Amino acid sequence: MPLPNEKEYVTNIAFDSVIFGFSGKNLKILIMQYHDTGLFALPGGFVKRDENLSDSVKRAVRERTGLENIYLEQFHTFGKLDRSDPASMKMILEANGFSPDETYWMLDRFFSIAYYALINYNEVKLKPDFLSDSIDWYEQDRLPPLMQDHHEIVAMALQTLRDNLEKKLVGIKLLPERFTMKELQKVHEAILGEKLRRTTFQRKMLSLGFLERHEKRYTGQAHKAPYLYSFKK
């Protein structure tokens, strides 16, 4: 595969995606490892000249996860002067057999427009990009060392997710279509990083009016069977 050509992409603009999934116990984030470098990073990419920004991000997330209907939200633009890291980018390109000169456009300074994505952990089919060895899930509090300012991007994405926890119905994309109140509570606890009191949480969720109750989930112990819920359309 040839090096990406600057005639095809908008220069000095990139995007990075913090892709959240919920494993049933932990909030996880997708992280890529670049070929033969030991460098880890968030999935990201560049905007094609004939492509809308949002379409570029959806395309990149779809290519990494195999999912079509993805919840994405733009939350910040990162543009500090010291975020540029041409030495690491050159190392990544050289590790993949390329020999860029010092004027190559991918070695220039980039502003990164950051998005967070919420996806169903169990539906993902992971696929690294052409510069990467792997893409994998990591618990949000056990991430490997990330290149550039990607730890800062993750921290801001997580704070935005916490701020949006109720008004954006975050659990819609992190849970199956029907779930128990306990499963919904686990999502909130994973995002907030703290334990919640069961009765207080249940009372609050029911008072918000966005849940619909269904039949019980029977597992052989009828007296302990919890009700199933879904988010109202």
Confidence of residue 51 (pLDDT cuts 50, 70, 90): very high
Query: Residues 207-224: pLDDT tens digits?
Result: 988 899 998 877 666 567
The angle formed by the CA atoms of residues 221, 222 and 226, to the nearest 5 degrees, is 95
Sign (positive or negative) of CA dihedral 209, 210, 212, 218:
negative
Domain ranges of the chain: 9-163, 177-231
Length of the chain: 233
As a whole number of angstroms, the distance between CA 147 and CA 119 comes to 24
Overall fold of domain 177-231: Arc Repressor Mutant, subunit A (1.10.10)
Query: Residues 6-35: pLDDT tens digits?
Result: 999 999 999 999 999 988 888 999 999 998
Contacts of 53 (CB under 8 A, 6+ apart): 15, 47, 113
Half-sphere exposure of 191 (CA within 13 A, CB side): 24
CA-to-CA separations, 89 to 11, 127, 131, 194, in angstroms, rounded: 15, 20, 10, 37
Q: What CATH number is given for 9-163 in this structure?
A: 3.90.79.10
As a whole number of angstroms, the distance between CA 97 and CA 180 comes to 50
The model's pTM is 0.87
pLDDT for 170: 74
Over range 97-114, report the average pLDDT.
95
pLDDT for 23: 84
